[in-house]
Amino acid sequence: MNNKTQNSFLNQSRPFALKESVQIIDSKSESEIWREFDLGDEKAFNYLFRVYTPLLMRYGCQLTHDQGLVKDCIQNLFIRLRKMRGKLEKVAKVKSYLYKSLQRDIFKQIHKSSNEISLENENLFLIELSFESRLIDYETDSQHREQLNVALKFLTERQRQALLLLYVEGFSYKEVAELMELKDAKYARKLVYRALGILRSSFKSKSGS
């Protein structure tokens, strides 16, 4: 039994039932949960970890292809936040706060090993169209689907990023601008309008009519 270390790790693979804590806390606002986390409530931390780790992982993997790096950065972010409990600043928008912090950490790490950047920069923020959910119109119309898919290829990475942040993450223009290091929400709106201009020809109801 000399692999005691290994066993102790494996045995603890399920320290708590999945998803339970998420239910309990759902009714509270996020800034309340943040405050409780600050006060040392483990249930609140559990909630933040469960809800945001998969999201942070997904977002982080848009910034670099190095999944291990993203995981390390998420780990260190939560460790740091836990260390700062009791003196955390008030946060109104927990999601964009966490995204911003993680993005900053990842960029810092990438800069450290900057010889890999040239490979890193490709194929980030890729969009996939999912026609599965009740989208009757586009689902039956494969021509529009294809057109839309082709049009997507003409978007720049920043345009794709802006659309994803707006439509998938549900961020406001202000939050999008902050994450994308734009001076003002109106530049985020401009970016989105430009992307929509490229996609316009593949929409069903063409504008101007």
From residue 87, alpha-carbon distances to 76, 152, 196 in Å are: 18, 44, 43
By CB under 8 A, tell whether 187 contacts another protein: no
Contact flags string 50-89 toward another protein, x per CB under 8 A:
---xx--xx--xx----x---xx-xxx-xx--xx------
| Of residues 140, 45, 129, the one with CA closest to residue 83 | 45
The number of residues that bind another protein (CB under 8 A) is 68
CB of 57 to another protein, least distance (A): 6
Binding positions for another protein, 99-118, rule CB under 8 A: none
By CB under 8 A, tell whether 159 contacts another protein: no
By CB under 8 A, tell whether 186 contacts another protein: no
Which of 20, 116, 140, 167 contacts another protein by CB under 8 A? 167
From residue 106, alpha-carbon distances to 27, 103, 138, 162, 170 in Å are: 32, 5, 37, 19, 22
Packing angle between helix 67-83 and helix 42-63, nearest 10 degrees?
A: 150
Q: Are 51 and 101 in contact (CB under 8 A)?
A: no
Give CA–CA dist 98/89, Å, rounded: 13
The set of residues, in sequence order, having a beta carbon less than 8 Å from that of 202 and lying 6+ positions away, is: 144, 147, 148, 150, 151
Segment interacting with another protein, rule: CB under 8 A, options 22-30, 87-95, 103-111, 137-145: 137-145
Quick one: 91 or 196, whose CB is closer to another protein? 196
Q: Are 195 and 159 in contact (CB under 8 A)?
A: yes
Contact positions toward another protein, by CB under 8 A?
5-6, 9-10, 12-15, 49, 53-54, 57-58, 61-62, 67, 71-72, 74-76, 78-79, 82-83, 119, 125-131, 133, 135, 137-138, 142-143, 145-151, 153-154, 163-164, 166-168, 170, 172-173, 189, 192-193, 196-197, 200, 202-205, 207-208
